[in-house]
Chains A and B, each alone.
Chain A
Amino acid sequence: NAGVTQTPKFQVLKTGQSMTLQCAQDMNHEYMSWYRQDPGMGLRLIHYSVGAGITDQGEVPNGYNVSRSTTEDFPLRLLSAAPSQTSVYFCASTEEAGLQNSGANVLTFGAGSRLTVL
């Protein structure tokens, strides 16, 4: 049981290049999300998905695209990288999201992807 797997761990891009950060989970979780972590700003939500075929914007979605064609995978695409997107990116998943359920929505995080845009 690998949990949440992110690739690559490190990436350097030039301004204007595009790339995809991969995220896969093998826990059959419905909810997946992408966060970016910047010093002094905690983690900020980029996009999230509550199930296959459903995605929504988080707090800082500009410059990023996502899709959710399967339950397992939730890739994050940078369309035209900018230096402001230099950050550490975390993918996370949980069984379900929503106040309607009685359980806790504890996120399982991937190991992170450190992206530098020059």
Chain B
Amino acid sequence: ELKVEQNPLFLSMQEGKNYTIYCNYSTTSDRLYWYRQDPGKSLESLFVLLSNGAVKQEGRLMASLDTKARLSTLHITAAVHDLSATYFCAVDSGSRLTFGEGTQLTVNP
């Protein structure tokens, strides 16, 4: 059974700081997705990582995938308040996506 673990689960950071969210998974997959969820809202796709070494960047967020280590990272650069949300990674095992627990990010002024 595929397990997907994120850490940290809660992250409070100051504006302007950098931080990384980690997503580890237990079985072989070369497809990983990052989603964002604002409070009370649905999930929106952020990044699609389809191969080992894939790196995607959008604004202050950068995601990478290491399939050998079964690890993806979501790096936040110079955080701003608008990035406050819950971030989920999800691993594609062929017929389903398995989600991590989510990382609730709060960016404080």
Chain A: residues with CB nearer than 8 A to chain B? 33, 35, 40-45, 48, 50, 56, 58-59, 90, 97-99, 104-107, 109-112
Shortest distance from the beta carbon of A41 to any chain B beta carbon, whole Å: 6
Residues on B with C-beta less than 8 A from A42 are: 4, 88, 99-102
Q: Chain A: interface secondary structure?
A: loop
Set B4, B9, B42, B50: member contacting A110, Cβ < 8 A: B42
B interface residues, tally (CB under 8 Å): 23
* Complex CA distance for A107 and B94, rounded to whole angstroms: 13
Given contacts A42-B100, A106-B33, contact A50 B95 (CB under 8 A): yes
The answer for the CA separation of A104 and B51 in the assembled complex, in Å, is: 11
With contacts defined as CB atoms under 8 Å apart, how many contacts are there between chain A and chain B in the complex?
Answer: 59
Give every chain B residue within 8 A of A99 (Cβ-Cβ). Answer: 31, 92, 94
B101, A40: Cβ atoms under 8 Å?
yes
CA distance A50 to B100 in the complex (A): 23
Would you call B50 and A104 a contact (CB within 8 A)? yes
Please give the distance in Å from B61's CB to the nearest CB on chain A: 16
Chain B residues lying within 8 Å of A59, measured Cβ to Cβ, are 98
A42-B88, A42-B102, A106-B48 as given contacts; A112 in contact with B42, CB under 8 Å: yes
Assuming A90-B42, A106-B45, A110-B42, is B96 touching A43 (CB within 8 A)? Answer: no
By beta carbon, the residue of chain A nearest B100 is A42
> Chain B residues near A50 (CB, 8 Å)?
95
Q: How far does the Cβ of A8 sit from chain B's closest Cβ, in whole Å?
A: 15
B97 at the interface (CB under 8 A from A): yes
Q: Is B43 an interface residue (CB 8 A)?
A: yes
Query: CA A59 – CA B94 in complex, angstroms?
Result: 14
Of chain A, the residue at the smallest CB distance from B42 is A109
Q: Could you tell me if A40 and B48 are in contact, using CB atoms closer than 8 angstroms?
A: no
Give the residues in chain A near B42, CB-CB below 8 Å: 90, 109-112
